[in-house]
């Protein structure tokens, strides 16, 4: 655990140093950039069956991404008043072979003037051995289109009933029966 903490601190310091050294964008501007926030991401706007992802873009150049099949972590930098570039890594594991490497995702986005959405492009790069096994070229594939909608703060509404007790008779419906989704 101690090694993980030391490694995490070193990586965070490197990410902060990279952001501070970003050409043409002050640390103050990066801390107030409109990309900072929580977003619902659609990495396949043309495919309605592809589930959305959640992404957090934090001050200091840190980005986290949560998708149904795993999480990704990386860094971002402001490239203009409303534009940003990001790179994040998603670990790829195979139930039989174990850890295969990282999927590298690189993206460039432009935040809308109202700050509530963004649009951009991205590329994917699979680990070389995995790309070869899939019959894909080694290197960046794409570009694909990505859109994002800011997660807005909403006031708490009027409850329609009490919280359900775990293990009690009022069990919530199964995810298959739930209309939320």
Q: What percent of the chain is predicted at pLDDT more than 90?
A: 59
pTM: 0.72
Give domain status of residue 79, yes or no: yes
Q: Quote the CA–CA distance of 26 and 79 in Å, as a whole number.
A: 10
Domain that holds residue 45: 2-150
Give domain status of residue 67, yes or no: yes
Which neighbouring-strand residues pair with 121?
A: 108, 145
Give domain status of residue 64, yes or no: yes
- Count of domains forming the chain: 1
Task: Kindly tell me if the per-residue pLDDT of 14 is higher than 80.
Answer: no
- Whole-number average pLDDT of the chain: 83
Give domain status of residue 12, yes or no: yes
- pLDDT of 179 reads 56
Residue 80 DSSP label? S
Q: Quote the CA–CA distance of 11 and 127 in Å, as a whole number.
A: 21
Give domain status of residue 68, yes or no: yes
Give domain status of residue 166, yes or no: no
Give domain status of residue 32, yes or no: yes
Estimate to the nearest angstrom the gap between the alpha carbon of 1 and the chain centroid.
Answer: 25
Q: Quote the CA–CA distance of 117 and 71 in Å, as a whole number.
A: 22
Q: Quote the CA–CA distance of 110 and 80 in Å, as a whole number.
A: 9
Q: What is the mean pLDDT of residues 43-47?
A: 86
Contact at 8 Å (CB) between 134 and 101? no
Residue of 22, 153, 2 whose CA lies nearest to 80: 22
Which CATH number characterizes residue 74's domain?
2.40.128
Q: What is the mean pLDDT of residues 99-124?
A: 96
């Amino acid at each position: 655990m101690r090694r993980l903490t030391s490694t995490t601190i070193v990586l965070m310091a490197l990410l902060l140093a990279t952001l501070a050294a970003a050409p043409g964008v002050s640390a103050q501007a990066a801390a107030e950039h409109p990309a900072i926030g929580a977003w619902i991401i659609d990495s396949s706007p043309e495919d309605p069956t592809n589930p959305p992802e959640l992404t957090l873009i934090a001050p200091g150049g840190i980005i986290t991404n949560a998708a149904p099949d795993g999480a990704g972590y990386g860094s971002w930098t402001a490239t203009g008043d409303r534009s940003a570039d990001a790179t994040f890594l998603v670990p790829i594991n195979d139930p039989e072979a174990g850890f295969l490497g990282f999927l590298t995702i690189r993206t460039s986005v432009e935040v809308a003037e109202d700050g509530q959405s963004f649009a951009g492009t991205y590329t994917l790069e699979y680990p070389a051995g995995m790309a070869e096994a899939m019959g894909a070229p080694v290197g960046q594939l794409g570009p694909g289109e990505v859109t994002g909608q800011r997660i807005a703060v909403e006031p708490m509404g009027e409850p329609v009933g009490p919280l359900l007790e775990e293990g009690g008779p009022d069990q919530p419906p199964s995810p298959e029966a739930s209309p939320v989704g």
